[in-house]
Structure formats: C-alpha cells, structure tokens
Amino acid sequence: ILVCQGTGCTSSKSPQILENFKKIIEEKGIKNVRVIKTGCFGLCAKGPIVIIRPEDTFYAQVTPEDCEEIIQSHIIEGKVVDRLLCKDIDGTKVTKLDDLTFYKKQKRIALKNCGVINPEDIDEYIAFDGYRALARVLIEMTQDEVIETIDKSGLRGRGGAGFPTGKKWRATKDAKGDTKYVVCNADEGDPGAFMDRSILEGDPHAVLEAMEIAGYAVGAEKGYIYVRAEYPIAVHRLQIAIDQAREYGILGKNIFGTDFSFDIEIRLGAGAFVCGEETALLESIEGRRGQPRVKPPYPAQSGLWGCPTLINNVETYANVAQIILKGADWYSSIGTATSKGTKVFALGGNVNNVGLVEVPMGTTLREIVFDIGGGIPNGREFKAAQTGGPSGGCIPKEHLDTPIDYESLKEIGSMMGSGGLIVMDDTKCMVCLAKFYLQFTVSESCGKCTPCREGTKRMLEILKKITHGEGTLEDLKTLEDLAHMIKDSSLCGLGQSAPNPVLSTLANFKDEYLAHVVDKKCPAGVCKALLTFEITDDCIGCTKCKRNCPADAISGDLKQKHYIDPAKCIKCGSCVKGCPKNAIVVK
C-alpha cells in the first residue's frame, strides 16, 4: 500500500492515513502487506492518494476514516472500493493509475522514483537501479567520458537559463585550482513552483548520486546542497539520505573502493528569492548577505571561496544517473532539436488537475493545460498561462499550440524558467497579474543595483496608478521605457528578467491596459477602484443591502428601490452577496 507523503498530501492528514493502515493491518494480523510512504504522485488535486500494488488501484482524496474500508474490502475481500476510485477528466472512474489521462502524455525521468519508492529507505533506491550509474562512472569511465556523455545528451540547465550542462561541467573541470566544489541549487523561490521540492521529498538519493558523479567528473571532493528552510520535509529526507549513504560507504572516503572521495553538506537558505541566482547563492553559503556578484568571473572559474565551482539545480541533477545508465543517444532522442529530454512543471492556477507533471520537450501548451491538466474549471475560458514565474511572461490563447521548449517560449516573449506554469481563466485581470509579480520583485530585490532596486519600484507605482483609475497614456509609454532600461542594465539575471511579466502583458493584452487608462474600466472586473455598483429596477426594497453595507453608502425606504452613493461605496461586494433578487450589478 503506497501512501503519498509529499507536502500537499501531508497537509491533508496522509501521515495519519499511513499510521491507520499500519495499525489496522497489525490488529487484523494480515501478512504479506507492506505500507510504504512515498513522495508526490503528481496529481495533487486528488490527494491524499493511496495506491494498492501490484494491481495499481488508484484511490483519491482518501481520509483516515477510509482506511478500515480499504483494508476490509480491497485487501481481505479483494473488492475495489468504488467510491474512492479517482475520476478522470470526463467524470468516469478509473481503476488503474496508468489509465488516467493525467499520466498518458507524461514521460517520467526526473520524477522516475517519485511516488514509487520510500524516499527514506536507501535499499529501495538501490533496488530501482540506484547508485549503479555512480559505480559505472567510477569503475568504467574517465572524467572526460562522463562529461562527453552529458554533453552529447543535450541536457540543459533546468533552473531557467537553459545553459548546456556538459559545457558547464567541462569549464569547471578545465579551470585551474586544487580545490573544487559541486553545488546543488535547491532554492526554489518562484510563486507556485514546487518541482525541486517534490524531487527532494520523493527521491533525494537521485540528487546525491548525480552530485557525486559531477564531483568525479570535475575533480571535486565536496558538495553543498543549498535548500530553503521553508522545505522541512525535503531537508529532513535529504539528511536521512546523506546519513544512509555515508553508512553504506557510498558517500565519504574511497567510494566503492576507488580513490574517489566525496561528501555532501546541507546549507539552509532563509527564503530570499535572489539566492536562486547562482552567485548570490554562493555568497549566502559563505555566510554573507545574498547578493549577486559581478560576472565574469563565472562560478566555474571562481565560485565558493574563490575556487572553481559547479552549480546545477535539483531537476538537472535528477536526469544525470538515467543518462549515464541509458546513454546519451537515448536521452537526446526525447524532445526537440535544441531542447532535449523532459521538463517538470508545477501546474497550478485555474486548471482542474493541479499538480506536478513531466513531459517531453516540445509538448504543446494546449496538451499540458487541456489533456494533462483537464482544462479550465467551472466552464470558464482559457485566457493565458504564465511560465517562468516573476521572470517569465504571459502566453495568450493564440499561442496555445506553441511547443514548450527554450527557443519557442523565448520567441513569444516568455521563458522556461524553473518550471512554474500558472493557468488563468477569463476572470483574471492581466494588469493586476503584472502588478502582483512586480510587487514580488520589489519585495525580493536585494537592492545592490539601482536599476532593479529603484526601477522596479517606479514600475510598480505606475501599475498601481493604472489599477486605481489614475493612469494615463503617457504612463504606458514610461512603463515600457522603464522595463527595457531595467532589462538592459540590471546586474543579475533576476533583475534583467523582472520586467518580463509587464512587457509580455503589454504586448499580448494591450487592450486591457487601454481599458484601464482610457475607459477607466477593468474588463475582468477585478480592480475595485474601477468598479461601479448599481441597483436595478428589480430591487424590492427589502433593505438587506442597506443593513449589510459597512460604509452606510446605501439609502432607500422599505419596499422602495434603493440607491448606492458612489462617493461612499467602498466596493466590498457585501451588498451583491446579500441581495435575494440579484438586483445589484457590477459594471
């Protein structure tokens, strides 16, 4: 019995489900049944998830109270618990995991073991080919052969920039220095992103093995995993994995009886978004305030304590062992001509199947949103998707058939980023969306360079003016000019990409900006300052709206039509919610 113990399901009492299963099995004296904690299965919208193997029966939204019925009916009597079966997109109940539409177009490489093994048991990782790639590298391959394999595979950095991984490894190996380091960037700060966290929670040994392989390839004996302290489950399981690997002699001195020694330490981040930038991350590991360094020199030449340092993110490392075991040709056969392999996305927002998905590069946005994601809830229309978080851009519906890869996204004004994919329906205001991301960027700017520190604040001020009905056409021009200036002159990649949400919404949703500025209206009905509340002739004079209004903005006598004073109205919407005749309209 597999019970998801990822963060999402854990917050919905899955640890209690796990313990209930164990208790009931023990009480009933059932033999040959194991209850196993796993990482995230991906379909977070249906959690807590329980899967019964070997038949792969998929139970969704399980509660601790359901455990008794599952044991009695499924395990003892051999009857599926029909009411707990997961429903597919069309509403039909699906018995097996592989029959769900959510999984049919996915290809799991980085997420290979997530939801399959107990992440706190090294023996289970080993049983699923764990550390075989490390053994092959240390016993059969030279450093150059390892780097050549990674380079030939076409693997690119999954942290956002998409730099060729093999070239980064080569540069670090060729750099002069007696001491070198390998770093894992697990500082995942994009709003709505949880790819790296899920990998660390579900398959931590995959990252450790890859870091050891990288250490051998570049000539390093020490590694650091920089992970944000807000990921307590990931940190806990990482430490368990490190301790187990040391106990087994897979981490430490003379690994597998060779001359190669390598050890790994965890460094906790305090949640600063800027520490996702590689040089700011290095500053933080060294004990200083997280601020980007001027480049060059790049970390491959001068990184931690001035030594050559290799930095990759969690998802990048999660692909390495599979490439070593199955070969560069196998990996490069997946994806597109310039974007090889798969990409993990945290699919969120206005989509039915919120969760974690891994698809081959080149899969279209339409396939991810409507086939895997199950479409838009409540019959609403798709409006846009935001990729790349605060550094990315909005993709409108006319680009739904765009293949998701590095180059295609760049062409339409967005970017891959680390893998957050937020879907928005037609109730969303794109000006407010741009304002939300600018607020995040202003809050998280390290303040080292003037363009990012001051420029983003000025952009945010203009966006606030626009959403409050005080914007002008001149403001739109200033907003765009500021965006290009910040993009061209900020010190680091985060500052350079901060204006992207504004630029992409200006390019794709200019009509919404004009509506806010010229007509003083918010087409989506989101910006309160631009809304007007009116009582129609359907009013029966029940006085309920008048009694509910906290601003005393409504007047009228009993059984007579009431009126709203626009000067007093605070646009809270309490009158609309309380009207029994739906006689209050928002314009």
The pLDDT tens digits of the residues spanning 153-162 come to: 999 999 877 8
- Out of 165-179, 400-414, 426-440, which region has the weakest mean confidence (pLDDT)? 400-414
Is the pLDDT at 317 greater than 90? The verdict is yes
Q: Which residues contact 70 (CB under 8 A, 6 or more apart)?
A: 1, 21, 50, 52, 59, 62, 81, 84
pLDDT for the residue numbered 53:
93
Question: Is-contact 394 385, C-beta < 8 A?
Answer: yes
Q: pLDDT > 70: what percent of the chain?
A: 100
CB proximity list for 309: less than 8 A, separation 6 or greater:
172, 180, 181, 182, 183, 282, 299, 300, 303
The answer to whether residue 34 scores a pLDDT higher than 90 is yes
Higher pLDDT, 390 or 382: 382
Predicted pLDDT at 252: 96
CA 148/CA 162 separation, integer angstroms? 18
Copy the structure tokens of residue 111: 């997420």
Check whether 200 has a pLDDT greater than 80.
Answer: yes
Helical ranges in 292-397 per DSSP H? 314-326, 328-332, 365-366
220 or 194, which is more confident:
220
For the segment 474-497, the average pLDDT, to the nearest whole number, is 94
415 vs 8: which has the higher pLDDT? 8
CA gap 160, 277 in Å, rounded: 10
Average pLDDT, the chain: 94
Share of the chain above pLDDT 90, in %: 87
Model pLDDT for residues 336-365, shown as the tens digit of each residue: 999 999 999 999 999 999 999 999 999 999
| C-alpha distances out from residue 118 to 147, 223, 312, Å | 30, 24, 25
